[in-house]
Chains A and B, each alone.
Chain A
Amino acid sequence: MTDEGGTGGLAPDYIDPVRGWRTWLVVQGHDGARLASVSFPALWPRRRRLSAECGRGFHTGAGPPLRVEHRAPSLDCSCGIYATWNVDRATQIADCATARFRDCLGRPVLGAALGEVALWGTVVECAHGWRASYAYPARIYVLAPSYGRRSQVASAFDLAADLRNYGVPADALDCHSSLEIRRLLAADQAERAA
């Protein structure tokens, strides 16, 4: 993934980015905490969009597998930057990620976060989420150390403070279960809507 590229001069269908949910690992960067993708070795840059590239060029449509160079995302591939429609699926991923990873891209994993992400460019809408060519975090929630039975090496409050360098709201979630995440996020959204 890079931060290069464009929409290729096509007339857009929409002008408002879609907003979905996703999970990140929080890793040690050279200058503080950074967000990293869970299932792909990508660091999310600060104050610059993340751009998708298809590293596989692997066509998964009907017929035999065929390597085809294409811009990410493609309907017939699994490439792109992922987000889910609702927080429940992102929470399920957080359950796995927080228990599984100890390092990422050669950097120690400091914790895990979930949050809202803006997606734009070419967007593939799927049954439960989207894959897109560009993305940037819109809101970050750092999970408490006790979440997912991991021993987080930094406090969620310290990580949230550090992640505010992305220029978007970042808060700590004092939660111990998926149910608590949903309850706290619902309360937070209700408070913001009031």
Chain B
Amino acid sequence: MEIGRPQRQYEIEPLEEPVPREEPDELPVPDREPATPALDPVPS
């Protein structure tokens, strides 16, 4: 692609990249964390 001679260079850092997020129904279903077992009561 012919775009001509370079003129100048700069840095662009968007606050948020212009890349669409996955649709909610396209997101993989996360594995559920196993429930933390209830702690046995500590005898006083």
A residues sitting closer than 8 Å to B (CB atoms) are: 7, 10-18, 22-23, 38-39, 47-49, 73, 75, 82-84, 89, 93, 118-132, 134, 136, 138, 166-168
Cα separation A11 to B17 with both chains bound (whole Å): 16
Report if B33 contacts A (CB, 8 A).
no
Interface residues on B, range: 20 to 34
Asked if B7 contacts A121 (CB within 8 A), the reply is: no
Tally of contacts, chain A with chain B, CB under 8 A = 102
The 9 closest A-B pairs by CB, nearest first: A127-B4, A167-B20, A129-B3, A12-B13, A13-B10, A120-B12, A118-B18, A128-B4, A126-B3
Residues of A within 8 A of B20 (CB): 47, 166-168
Which among B6, B14, B18, B21 is the interface contact of A125 at CB below 8 angstroms? B6
Pick the residue among A11, A16, A47, A130 that contacts B14 (CB under 8 A).
A16
Q: Please, how many angstroms separate the alpha-carbon atoms of A131 and B4 in the complex?
A: 11
Task: Report whether A123 and B11 are in contact in the complex, using a CB–CB cutoff of 8 Å.
Answer: yes
Tell whether B1 is near chain A: CB-to-CB under 8 Å. yes
